[in-house]
Structure 1
Amino acid sequence: MRLEKCWFCSSTIYPGHGISFVRNDATVFRFCRGKCHKNFKMKRNPRKVAWTKAYRKLAGKELAEDATFEMEKRRNRPEKYNRDLVGKTIKAIEKVTDIRQKRQDRFYEKRMESARKQQLRADKVQLEKEVHLIKAPAGIRAEREKLKEPVRQADAKRDAMEE
């Protein structure tokens, strides 16, 4: 069973799925779904379309250089199967998958660290602007009373002068 990669978005195409487009020069383009095929026909560049893997790697949102991806490369040689070798290979694939997941998690945490700091700064600014929404009503009343006190004193002086 051969799993192909979509030419546009780089996702996996399983047997019996997707669309193949063969150009006049015999170049074969495989697409996972109509969305990718239509974007290809519209001559869009996958590196500029935000949902593709090419864009994510270019924008630094996805782990680009990882040795575990080398194992996924397609090989066109037929191989003789050995039961022990297949068992070991399956165990190795599980380990590689686990290692890749841990690397991706570390990469994500590292990338999100600056975003967390930026969000914290934005939250502090918003809190300073909208502190009136969270201050206790008693505190607000006391502040209003303090503001009205000089006005009352001025009114009292004015009344005293009029008499």
Structure 2
Amino acid sequence: MVVKTLTCSFSEYKIYPGHGGMYIRKDGQPVHFLNHKCCSLGSQKKKPARIRWTTAWRRNNKKIEAAEKSKRRSKKSFKVQKAICGMNQEIAKKSREAILAEIKNRRAKKASHK
């Protein structure tokens, strides 16, 4: 049999059936408190991270291990040759080779004139 437990909005402790209280905020959000101590501190708008016995303080000060965040694996990028304006890779390669050959010829002519 599974016992339905809630968590205290202030201390983050488990609230078992028959214990604790619930407070409805003005915006309609229910807030669960474990005991009167938590209810009082929560209604005074105290920060749980500043009160030593709360789970938030223990987590911030590394007294308990927080659940490790799983690191997102980034997708490895890889190069893909895409067609340019209907030209495929072979046509682009041939035109590039022709332009390079023309540049080499110009350089050779300039070198021979000097």
- Distance in 1 (CA, whole Å) between partners of 2:54 and 2:67 is 17
Equivalent position of 1:15 in the other structure: 17
The two structures have a TM-score, normalised by structure 2, of 0.55
* Alpha-carbon distance between aligned partners in 2 of 1:57 and 1:22, rounded to the nearest angstrom: 27
SS in 1 for 2:31: strand
**How far apart are residue 16 of structure 1 and its match?**
1.6
Tell me whether 1:25 sits opposite 2:27 in the alignment: yes
Q: Which runs of 4+ in 1 moved over 6 A?
A: none
Question: What's the secondary structure of 1:29's corresponding residue?
Answer: strand
1:92-129 per-position Cα deviation (integer Å, ceiling 9, x unaligned): xxxxxxxxxxxxxxxxxxxxxxxxxxxxxxxxxxxxxx
1:56 aligns with one of 55, 58, 62: 58
- Corresponding residue pairs, total: 67
* CA distance in 2 between partners of 1:45 and 1:65 (Å): 21
Q: Give the gaps of 5 or more residues in structure 2.
A: 70-114
Q: Structure 1 regions of 5+ residues with no counterpart?
A: 68-163
Residues 1:36 and 2:31 aligned together: no
Post-superposition CA distance 1:30-74 (Å, at most 9, x none) = 00000000001111000111110000000011111259xxxxxxx
Q: Between Structure 1 and Structure 2, whose CA radius of gyration is higher?
A: 2
Correspondence 1:14-163 to 2 at 5 A: 14-65=16-67
Flag the structure with more relative contact order, 1 or 2, with Cα contacts below 8 A and sequence separation at least 6: 2
Give the structure 1 partner of residue 7 of structure 2: 5
The TM-score normalised by the length of structure 1 is 0.39
